[in-house]
Amino acid sequence: MLNGRALKQKPVSQWWWVAALGLAVSGCRTTGSAAREEPRAASGPKQELHFDAVTVTADLELDKLNDEELFAGGTSAFAANDFQQAARYFGRLVDFFPDSRHRRAALYNAGLAHQRLKEWEEAGHRFSELADAARGQGDALDAAFRVAEVDYHLERYEQAATLLGTIAAREDLPLNRRLEAQVQQGICQLESGAPDTAEVTLRKALTTYDALEDKGEVDDYFPAQAHFFIGELYRLHYDGVKLDPAKGADKLAQDLNYKAELLLSAQGHYLRSIRVGNGYWATAAGSQIGALYENLYEHMVNSPAPSELDASEAEIYRQELRKKIRVLLTKSINIYERTLETAERIGSQSTFVDRTRESLAKVKALLLADAEGEPASAAPASTGDEPHT
3-state secondary structure the chain: CCCCCCCCCCCCCCCCCCCCCCCCCCCCCCCCHHHHCCCCCCCCCCCCCCCCCCCCCCCHHHCCCCHHHHHHHHHHHHHCCCHHHHHHHHHHHHHHCCCCCCHHHHHHHHHHHHHHCCCHHHHHHHHHHHCCCCCCCCHHHHHHHHHHHHHHHCCCHHHHHHHHHHHHCCCCCCHHHHHHHHHHHHHHHHHCCCHHHHHHHHHHHHHHHHCCCCHHHCCCHHHHHHHHHHHHHHHHHHHHCCCCHHHCHHHHHHHHHHHHHHHHHHHHHHHHHHHHCCHHHHHHHHHHHHHHHHHHHHHHHCCCCCCCCCHHHHHHHHHHHHHHHHHHHHHHHHHHHHHHHHHHHHCCCCHHHHHHHHHHHHHHHHHHHHHCCCCHHHCCCCCCCCCCC
pLDDT band at 1 (very low <50, low <70, confident <90, very high): low
Distance (Å, whole) CA 33 – CA 29: 12
With beta carbons less than 8 A apart as the criterion, state whether 83 and 91 touch: no
Decide if pLDDT at 343 tops 90.
no
Query: What values do phi and psi take at 156, rounded to 5?
Result: -95, 65
Section 170-193 average pLDDT:
97
pLDDT band at 38 (very low <50, low <70, confident <90, very high): very low
Average pLDDT score over the chain: 79
pLDDT band at 382 (very low <50, low <70, confident <90, very high): very low
Q: Specify the higher pLDDT residue, 372 or 277.
A: 277
* pLDDT at position 345: 74
Q: How far is CA 228 from the centre of its chain?
A: 13
Decide if pLDDT at 84 tops 70.
yes
Comparing 196-200, 313-317, 345-349, which segment has the lowest mean pLDDT?
Answer: 345-349
Distance (Å, whole) CA 387 – CA 231: 15
**Under 8 Å CB-to-CB from 177, ≥6 apart: which residues?**
141, 167
pLDDT in tens, 109-124: 999 999 999 999 999 9
Comparing 18-32, 193-207, 352-366, which segment has the lowest mean pLDDT?
Answer: 18-32
Of 306, 307, 300, 289, the C-alpha closest to 322 is 300
- Percent of the chain residues past pLDDT 70, beyond the cut: 78
* pLDDT at position 48: 52
* pLDDT at position 175: 95
* pLDDT at position 78: 97
* pLDDT at position 93: 96
Section 177-205 average pLDDT:
97
pLDDT band at 29 (very low <50, low <70, confident <90, very high): very low
How long is the chain? 389
Decide if pLDDT at 22 tops 60.
no
* pLDDT at position 316: 82
Decide if pLDDT at 100 tops 90.
yes
Section 91-109 average pLDDT:
96
Decide: pTM greater than 0.85: no
Residue 61 burial (C-beta neighbours within 10 Å; 0-12, 13-18, 19+): exposed
Decide if pLDDT at 60 tops 70.
yes
Count of Cβ atoms closer than 10 Å to residue 281 Cβ: 29
Section 126-142 average pLDDT:
96
* pLDDT at position 363: 76
* pLDDT at position 2: 60
